[in-house]
Structure 1
Amino acid sequence: MMIATSSFTLQWTHSVEKIEWRETWQVLPEGLWLIEAGVKGSGAGMEPGDDAVYNNGWWTWKPNIAPQQQLVLAASGATPSGWKLCAENNCLELGRRSGPASTISVCP
């Protein structure tokens, strides 16, 4: 499946902590750039970034990582929900049930 967009948001619920997490990504020629991350709590490797700000129930921050060539979203079936991918005011759920991973990358 292809989605024509310049940015998208991923949101999911952590399998152990049952806490919501979201990331906003920008699509660039050099890859996928994580421009903001947010979490509704902390624990089990879900600590907010050092510069996180608390607003409307979310800790948000701007991670400092290089653009990624791809994102691989596992589908273990052990999480309360799949990955919610939203772009251009449309959302879809990936990996709700156990199965092959979904891969997100920039189209040439």
Structure 2
Amino acid sequence: MIGLCLGLAGVVWAQLPTPAFTLAWNHTIEKIRWEEDYRVTADGLLLGEARIKGSGAGMEAPQGAELRDGAWHYRRQVPALQPLRVGRTPEAGDYQLCFDGQCHALSEWLGPPRADRPALELWSCEVAAQS
């Protein structure tokens, strides 16, 4: 079963058997929520729709974005990401992974962000089915 691996440089720290997820976080300065929807495929993570709930320092909605329900909705055409690399530090706060109707802080699987591990990679991988 294809799922989501979390780790760094190919070392798996956690695996999640989910075919799709939303990566969410708050902008470190403006404290405005960003969300990106991904589908997990054998080729990597495919970005679908993204949303931003405002604008400010370095976070303008891209051209063509639509304002709906208090957030700018948009799509970007990018190839499958394998891996998706994100920064994760104590100063910036934590990301959330949302799937199956619930959002979870990454710290649920990885512990709190640490200064000695300032990056994280997410990629599609084979995971054992949970029963």
Same fold (TM > 0.5)? yes
Gap regions ≥5 residues in structure 1: none
Q: Deviations over 1:66-94 (max 9, x none)?
A: 11111223222122x31010122343212
Q: Is the Cα contact below 8 Å between 1:94 and 1:102 reproduced in 2?
A: no
Query: Residue 19 in 1 paired to residue 46 in 2?
Result: no
SS class of match (2:86): strand
SS class of match (1:2): strand
| Candidates 36, 53, 66, aligned match of 2:49 | 36
Runs of 4+ in 1 over 6 A off after TM superposition: none
Aligned-partner residue type, residue 51 of structure 1: G
Partner of 2:122: 104
RMSD, aligned α-carbons: 1.7
Partner of 2:85: 72
Identical columns (%): 34
What is the TM-score with the length of structure 2 in the denominator?
Answer: 0.73
Partner of 1:62: 75
What is the TM-score with the length of structure 1 in the denominator?
Answer: 0.87
Q: Mark the structure with the bigger radius of gyration.
A: 2
Number of residue pairs the alignment of both structures matches: 107
Gap regions ≥5 residues in structure 2: 1-13, 127-131
